[in-house]
Amino acid sequence: MSTRTSDHFLIAALLVLSGCDQLGKADTMAVDPKSPDTVQCQVDGAAKVEPVCRSEVTGDRLTIRHPDGGFRRFRIVADGRGVVAADGSDPAAVTITQGDRITVKVGTDLYDLQAQIASPK
């Protein structure tokens, strides 16, 4: 019994696609709520704010990673705004919520972040 070349191509394409699916699942690691890089967030249509996002800071760049593999990038600024959206078309709206915390809203996503609040000069 022989197989057609198109059958081999179809099998190869399915293997590649299944490998991509596994890569995506590996990137969405479980978040430890007590880890310092854990962020309280409300993303992807979630009903409430939960500790399911992770943060990464490199220089003046802050990346918030969502549980589904999505992410938002911010630039940390020292002009009183805290952070600004580093890419995308939606601006970041920042609100001081308590002593050392800010809420950052971008589009429908919301992040509760620790911040260093500077005293007014």
pLDDT (tens place) for every residue of the chain, 121 residues total = 555 544 433 333 333 333 333 344 434 457 788 888 999 999 988 999 999 999 999 999 999 999 999 999 999 998 888 999 999 889 999 999 987 899 999 999 999 998 876 666 5
- Measured distance CA(106)–CA(83) in Å, rounded: 11
- Measured distance CA(102)–CA(115) in Å, rounded: 6
- Contacts of range 117-120, beta carbons closer than 8 Å, 24 or more positions apart: 118/78, 118/80
Q: In this structure, is residue 79 part of a structural domain?
A: yes
Q: In this structure, is residue 11 part of a structural domain?
A: no
Q: In this structure, is residue 80 part of a structural domain?
A: yes
Q: In this structure, is residue 23 part of a structural domain?
A: no
Number of domains in the chain: 1
Q: In this structure, is residue 60 part of a structural domain?
A: yes
Q: In this structure, is residue 119 part of a structural domain?
A: no
Measured from the Cβ of residue 44, the count of other Cβ atoms closer than 10 Å reads: 12
Q: In this structure, is residue 28 part of a structural domain?
A: no
For residue 79, give its domain range: 38-114
- Measured distance CA(25)–CA(66) in Å, rounded: 12
Q: In this structure, is residue 18 part of a structural domain?
A: no
